A and B are shown apart, each in its own frame.
Chain A
Amino acid sequence: MIAKKVCLLGPTGVGKTSLVKRFVEGIFSEKYLTTIGVKIDKKTVTIDDTEIQLMLWDMEGTDRYCGFQTRYLRGAAAYIIVVDQTRAQTLIEGMEIHKLVKEECDIPSLLVVNKSDLDASWHWTADELDHYKRHFNATAMTSAKTGENVETMFNDLASLAFGSTQE
């Protein structure tokens, strides 16, 4: 079986851990528990009849208390930047992290706009959002709470990770 390391990156409190929990264990908790350091989970997906074991590196959110650690990207086949559509600032911070990753390695990326179950209270217009989306290989709107699009998004991520080493 092929194993692929993928990293979940983004600002604090956007729902990275919740997305992993929903995908791997099928559960969601309303209670926010901040991640410290790194936690790795595994799940096998099938892409074009090929079984891929995704190693999901869920990293502590980047903020004033925790800087972004590029060394954890070593050996990653793809990454996602998770942002929260109820906090405009998370998109700006997500783009900054994206820029830092791009300086470090050239691997596929996916922009995930999470918390789609809530009203989008950020001020980004569709055009502005499109502008940001263009910097990524793919984008997805997800809700870790309802599970909307989570499975599809991780499958897309697996395809990107698989494709990046096929080329």
Chain B
Amino acid sequence: MGEPGTKEPLSLEELEAATNLRTGRKHVLSILVENKSGVLTRIAGLFARRGFNIDTLTVGPTDDEAVSRVTLTVDGAVHPIDQVTKQLHKLVNVLKIRDLEPGDTVSRELALFKVAADGVQRGELLQIAEIFRGKVVDVTKRAIIIEVTGTTEKIAAFETMVRPFGLIEMMRTGEIAISRGRTET
């Protein structure tokens, strides 16, 4: 900045406050944290006491063993994302937060579906799995386990398709996400 003394006047009318506190869309927050005991509790506790809901949460190692990555999704229609990230930043063990832009992000979730598959239904089920590029990872006389990877939407669509066959149970990991291009997430 230069020397003070610019005398160009300013009208208070021109000033605009921070707006769009609620963005109305899903946000994927990619958070690098120090790999220390209790970090996840601090994050979860912060969300609980500030009244923020976590939709999905995944935690895993990174290429640096001192650092872990937490990926969590939050509904920006319900929560002021700006306030969520500012509060997260106050945690001493949080190193970096990225609010990933959906267009610049590749996100994936892994799901395992255990579906009832008695005789005749089996062929149709396998066809659906193939369309979704699902993988059959276990077969018994009465059930099949199918592994599906993809966006949250794709997994939800697969769930809709297989539910009529008799969905016994479903396990989902929650989303992980990485930014497109050369820059680090």
A and B from one complex:
no
Question: Residues of B with Cβ closer than 8 Å to A?
Answer: none
